[in-house]
Structure 1
Amino acid sequence: MRAVVAVASILILCPAADADEPAPFPGAICRWNGFVRHDFRVYGADVIVVEPKEQPLGRPWAWRGEFFGAFPDADLELLRGGWHLAYMSVPDLFGSPKAVARWEAFYDLLVKEYGVSPRPALIGLSRGALYCKAWAAAHPDETLAVYLDNGVCDFKSWPGGWPKGLGTGAGSPEEWVKLLDAYDFEDDREAITYRGNPVDRLGPLAEAEIPILLVYGDSDETVPHRENSEVVYDRYRALGGPVERVVKAGADHHPHGLTDPRPVVEFIERAWRDWGRP
């Protein structure tokens, strides 16, 4: 059963929406790169919704897994094209079931109360990939497409890495401790034998034919591509899932994104058209 939604009390002040019109977004309003941004709280977490200036039929939206505002070129192009942009701040939950429960509350609110599309496009930069892939694996019918950028696809690789003897990357012992707590693992062994990593949960996405785009540097020392993006690429292809990749030769973990974000935007917009929505 999905978690009960708890939203900031400002929602009570919003007038009832017309049957044909979604409710207005609540919260504090400011401008973000020229677009209207709403900040409020859901299920005890800070959330952000940015509105496009023009809103096409169907109200498509993109959901950031982590690091709102970082390397936002593709986000901004989507906003210019009529997409809403959403983010929920649960930074130390690493895509765990606790994170998915909070995402479910936010999703239900956005779709049922504010009328956005039931299928968001997911944007996962770095550890944000853990959130996006966890959502997609649990909710393939509520996922439009998945774009991962130097994404963490196996937490054994990061924050595990070489300090734990689990990968070639630098890892992060401090973040590993947080991850154990987020998943309620009793010890390292339970985490290592866990089979809920993104690289282990590709079957539901492939069956639903959810398109995946992987953008990654082939010299990433933080989230090594051979332990993350390339594993997803090879396994997803073997499962028959639609997957594309853009490999940045010689690139490290930063900067994320592409100098020209059009391949990312076109990938997401093509998924929207292929789904059959206007």
Structure 2
Amino acid sequence: MFSINQPDNAVEEWHGYRLYNFSLKGTACKVVCPHREAEGTPWLWRARFFDEWPYIDLAMLEAGCHVAYTDVANLFGSSKALVKFDLFYNYLVKKHAFNPKVALVGYSRGGLTVYNWAARNPDKTACIYADNPVCDFKSWPGGKGNGPGCKQSWKECLEAYGLNEAEAIEFKGNPIDNLRPLAKANIPLLHIVGDSDEAVPVSENTNTLANRYSKLGGYIEIIHKPGEKHQPHSLKNPTPIAEFIKLHYLEGLKSC
């Protein structure tokens, strides 16, 4: 079970579970502990919106998973974000004996981070659950397709990647471009999308990714929410998500 020496104000109760707040080289991190740890010390790794729409977090805590989060939201899945992800991963796996494989969770722009990290680390990725995810930064925050984009976020995104606008348009390092390592490793994907997502159009993100992943022989499930927009994320009844993660992650640990 995860435990570190922290000031009292850095440890709190979160929905009935113990939450540790700490920093790794200046990056805010969180770990929530289950009441009883499942076999193999599995964990769920959130890349965005900690404490919002926590339905799957609570379901997996109940199943014995730790829930982890590190704040890299404003780095948009760039190499700077992935370095911070590597640091957090190594800290939890090497120092606290978390399972070497993790279930990744990416809401909205968190999709950029979890997919880009998984493409570099397919051997460390058990499965991915992405919710209305950004799969191509040209769509959001770039707004180069049917969505409105976000000027300020686009500026921050370009800065994070060290690209100008012309270079960003030609960039081939988005999740939709780097699916082959995931397919080769047989990593299962689950996307939940609001079919009327006004910010991150499904056609430019999830649909493009799903079509390419399927052509590579990869497995992806998509749960559609007819008429729903970008938010709210997740499902109030997270059973389908929990069953996906248990099947493709926890069940495999039991057989080890």
Matched, 1:183 2:161: yes
Amino acid at match of 1:126: S
**Which runs of structure 2 are paired with 1:49-64 in the superposition (5 Å)?**
49-64=31-46
Is the Cα–Cα contact under 8 Å of residues 123 and 147 in structure 1 kept in the other structure?
yes
How far is the alpha carbon of 1:242 from its aligned partner? 1.2
Residue equivalent to 1:11:
none
Residue equivalent to 1:24:
3
How far is the alpha carbon of 1:23 from its aligned partner? 6.6
Structure 1 residues 44-102: Cα deviation after superposition (integer angstroms, max 9, x where no partner): 10100000000022110000011111111011100111000000012210010110011
Is the Cα–Cα contact under 8 Å of residues 23 and 113 in structure 1 kept in the other structure?
no
Is the Cα–Cα contact under 8 Å of residues 42 and 250 in structure 2 kept in the other structure?
no
Give the secondary structure class of the aligned counterpart of 2:221: strand
Residue equivalent to 2:131:
149
Q: What TM-score results when the alignment is normalised by the length of structure 2?
A: 0.96
Amino acid at match of 1:253: H
Are the structure 2 counterparts of residues 254 and 171 from structure 1 closer, same or farther at C-alpha, using a change threshold of 3 Å? same
Aligned CA RMSD, in angstroms, stands at 1.2
Amino acid at match of 1:240: G
Work out which of the residue numbers 238, 244, 257 in structure 1 matches 2:215: 238
**Which runs of structure 2 are paired with 1:61-100 in the superposition (5 Å)?**
61-100=43-82
Matched, 1:174 2:174: no
**Structure 2 CA distance for aligned equivalents of residues 175 and 26 of structure 1:** 36
Moved runs in structure 1, 4+ residues, more than 3 A?
273-278
Are the structure 2 counterparts of residues 276 and 35 from structure 1 closer, same or farther at C-alpha, using a change threshold of 3 Å? closer
Is the Cα–Cα contact under 8 Å of residues 47 and 105 in structure 2 kept in the other structure?
yes
Is the Cα–Cα contact under 8 Å of residues 47 and 73 in structure 2 kept in the other structure?
no
Identify unmatched segments of 5+ residues in structure 2. none
**Structure 1 CA distance for aligned equivalents of residues 24 and 78 of structure 2:** 18
Give the secondary structure class of the aligned counterpart of 1:144: strand
Task: Give the share of equivalent positions with the same residue, in percent.
Answer: 44
